Structure 1
Amino acid sequence: MNLSPLPAIMLEPLVRAALLEDLGRAGDLTTDAIVPKNHHATTVLVARQSGVVAGLDLAMLAFRLMDQNVEMTVHRADGSEVAQGETIASVSGPAGAILTAERTALNFLCHLSGIATATASLVAAVRGHGAKIVCTRKTTPGLRAVEKYAVRAGGGANHRFGLDDAIMIKDNHIAIAGGIRTAIERARRSVGHLVKIEIEVDTLAQLEEVLGFAPDAILLDNMSADELRQAVRMVAGQAITEASGRVTPATAPAIAATGVDLISIGWLTHSAPILDIGLDHRAP
């Protein structure tokens, strides 16, 4: 997998904010009281369950922002599958800094690894078909870039990053514009040649109308497998087809078998369960 890391300048504000939230007004009372200032510790990040890793750069930043002398050795990089009990990374350095940053590091690592793991399960479910698994804009406020990175770590792809990526005409746009023709014509007049136009349809009748305006992509929302199959035949390669709505690892294979190009899933980023990862102290 060719997974490009996100620049540190994008990650550091997120990690700083999380650490400041945890440190509050008086710092880490527990660690400051118990752990000697010059105490050195060696710890390991261990997978409590099998899955796919994502978020190690954020975990490393959490430790290093507390103390630059903390070192992290990665054994299983982002995008790697890990087994239950497997060591993901070793973290060594000033014990106080490691303990203070522990929860922030694990919050990012567990959350993003959960997204990567959920994505990987869906990618595996549609293997053998041409459909790609993609995420949506249904992300945690402030964490969109890293959550979408985690989807890539799990083998998926990204839909729009924001409202300024492309034009996406949904049902409310059509209703307020007064119809599909008006919505598409206004969209075409307002953007340059590099901006793609996608339009959402709920029925095959809407799809038939939309095809007359040659959009770049069509979102087939909450359609049955039979309807999706008919829709793909109707589109016949004239536009990218995207299926969305109530997708799970159990339903994804049948959706992919209809021939759609993309399957978009909101819960990947807004409610995927975490991957349980712990930080364990290793005695010298």
Structure 2
Amino acid sequence: MTKTKTPNYSHLLPPSWKSQVSSWLTEDTPSFDYGGFVVGEDLREAFLWGKGSKPAVLAGTPFVDEIFRLLDCTVEWHVAEGDEFEPIKHVATVRGKARYLLLGERIALNLLARCSGIATASKRTKDLADSYGFRGVIAGTRKTTPGFRLVEKYGMIVGGIDPHRFDLSSMIMLKDNHIWSAGSVTAAITRAREVGGFSLLLDVEVRDEEEANEAIAAGADVIMLDNIEGGELVSVARRLRDRWEGKGKKFLLETSGGITESNLRERAISGIDILSTSSVHQSVQHIDFSLKIQIPPS
């Protein structure tokens, strides 16, 4: 049997991503490097440790590689991107001049902590949904940190879930404010279709079954049943499927709003195609990492 090749997630990154890394270094040391003056430029080796108390998914290695590359340091990874590790784990070894190791230390640790935290939460949520028999898509949301979206969406992908739309241009999503401003669900969808063309899916947030039927009739591709849960979600999803069966309307049903690991079971039902949640990236617990310069033998 052929072994599945580990995907190279760095191939997803756009050409602009390296300039973001450079800007992080500029932000962190805008003037004098006082600490660097103290340690100098002796060649040193530093161990990157994955800490904490629970297994974690490693995510963010391309960004860390670039941080240290810009500082003329090298990184040797002992854990592959996307792999789960048990703490305390020697995750990588970084080599370079002492002051450059310390210039990149905090940026790399902060980046790795958040990206790995998102990947870990994403994997845990997907595994939990799988255990409930859910066969749909688990997706993150666009409720990301301004200026850090690329890293956070990347972490979701490494963790094994769908990143949902990346930005406002990735998919047409009509939420309550769009619908109220346009006057109705149908009016909002009609106007969106005039400019969106055939290549963009149209995802429409609805408050109830009546709005869902209006959105399906008007040609929405995805119906987001916002904050509908429990037995009502099951009933609404079933009635929508039954009503539109054989009528030439293809649509996906999405559940969203307030979904956490504690209530995932009641939302991960067979009638739902997409389960979108911000719990995998908003207020997610970071993974603890540390970088320790090794003292050379005397």
TM-score using structure 2 length: 0.88
1:12 aligns with 2:24: no
Q: Does the 8 A contact of 1:129 with 1:259 survive in 2?
A: no
CA distance in structure 2 between the partners assigned to 1:95 and 1:151 by the alignment = 33
Q: Does the 8 A contact of 2:176 with 2:205 survive in 1?
A: yes
Partner residue in 2 for 1:185: 190
Partner residue in 2 for 1:76: 79
Q: Does the 8 A contact of 2:125 with 2:280 survive in 1?
A: no
Q: Does the 8 A contact of 1:228 with 1:258 survive in 2?
A: no
Q: What letter is aligned with 1:88?
A: V
Please state how far the C-alpha of 1:51 moved relative to its aligned partner. 0.8
Partner residue in 2 for 1:281: 293
Q: What letter is aligned with 1:166?
A: M
CA distance in structure 1 between the partners assigned to 2:223 and 2:8 by the alignment = 28
SS of 2:143's partner is coil
Measured at CA, do residues 182 and 78 of structure 1 come closer, stay the same or move farther in structure 2, by a change above 3 Å? same
Partner residue in 2 for 1:202: 207
SS of 2:44's partner is strand
Q: How many residues align?
A: 279
Partner residue in 1 for 2:96: 93
Please state how far the C-alpha of 1:244 moved relative to its aligned partner. 0.6
CA distance in structure 2 between the partners assigned to 1:201 and 1:210 by the alignment = 8
Kindly provide the CA deviation profile for residues 26-49 of structure 1, in whole angstroms up to 9, marking residues without a partner as x: 1x201212x132x12111211112
1:47 aligns with 2:47: no
Q: Does the 8 A contact of 2:35 with 2:99 survive in 1?
A: no
Please state how far the C-alpha of 1:150 moved relative to its aligned partner. 0.5
Kindly provide the CA deviation profile for residues 132-176 of structure 1, in whole angstroms up to 9, marking residues without a partner as x: 211111111112122111000111112111111121111111111
1:24 aligns with 2:21: no
Partner residue in 1 for 2:148: 143
1:251 aligns with 2:258: no
Please state how far the C-alpha of 1:2 moved relative to its aligned partner. 3.3
CA distance in structure 1 between the partners assigned to 2:263 and 2:129 by the alignment = 10
CA distance in structure 1 between the partners assigned to 2:7 and 2:111 by the alignment = 21
CA distance in structure 2 between the partners assigned to 1:174 and 1:182 by the alignment = 8
Partner residue in 1 for 2:252: 240
Partner residue in 2 for 1:154: 159
Partner residue in 2 for 1:268: 280
SS of 1:139's partner is coil
Q: Does the 8 A contact of 1:138 with 1:267 survive in 2?
A: no
Measured at CA, do residues 9 and 211 of structure 1 come closer, stay the same or move farther in structure 2, by a change above 3 Å? closer
CA distance in structure 1 between the partners assigned to 2:117 and 2:27 by the alignment = 22
CA RMSD in angstroms comes to: 1.7
Unaligned 5+ residue runs, structure 1?
A: none
CA distance in structure 2 between the partners assigned to 1:138 and 1:83 by the alignment = 29
Unaligned 5+ residue runs, structure 2?
A: 1-5
Q: 2:231 aligned to 226, 234, 241, which one?
A: 226
Q: Does the 8 A contact of 1:211 with 1:235 survive in 2?
A: no
SS of 2:261's partner is coil
Please state how far the C-alpha of 1:283 moved relative to its aligned partner. 3.5
User: Which piece of structure 1 moves more, 171-180 or 4-13?
Assistant: 4-13
Q: What letter is aligned with 1:131?
A: G
Measured at CA, do residues 57 and 186 of structure 1 come closer, stay the same or move farther in structure 2, by a change above 3 Å? same
Partner residue in 1 for 2:3: none
Please state how far the C-alpha of 1:234 moved relative to its aligned partner. 2.8
CA distance in structure 2 between the partners assigned to 1:21 and 1:191 by the alignment = 38
Q: Does the 8 A contact of 2:189 with 2:219 survive in 1?
A: no
Q: What letter is aligned with 2:214?
A: E
Q: What letter is aligned with 2:119?
A: A
Please state how far the C-alpha of 1:258 moved relative to its aligned partner. 4.5
1:121 aligns with 2:124: yes
CA distance in structure 1 between the partners assigned to 2:197 and 2:158 by the alignment = 32
Please state how far the C-alpha of 1:231 moved relative to its aligned partner. 2.7
Please state how far the C-alpha of 1:8 moved relative to its aligned partner. 7.3
Q: What letter is aligned with 1:262?
A: I
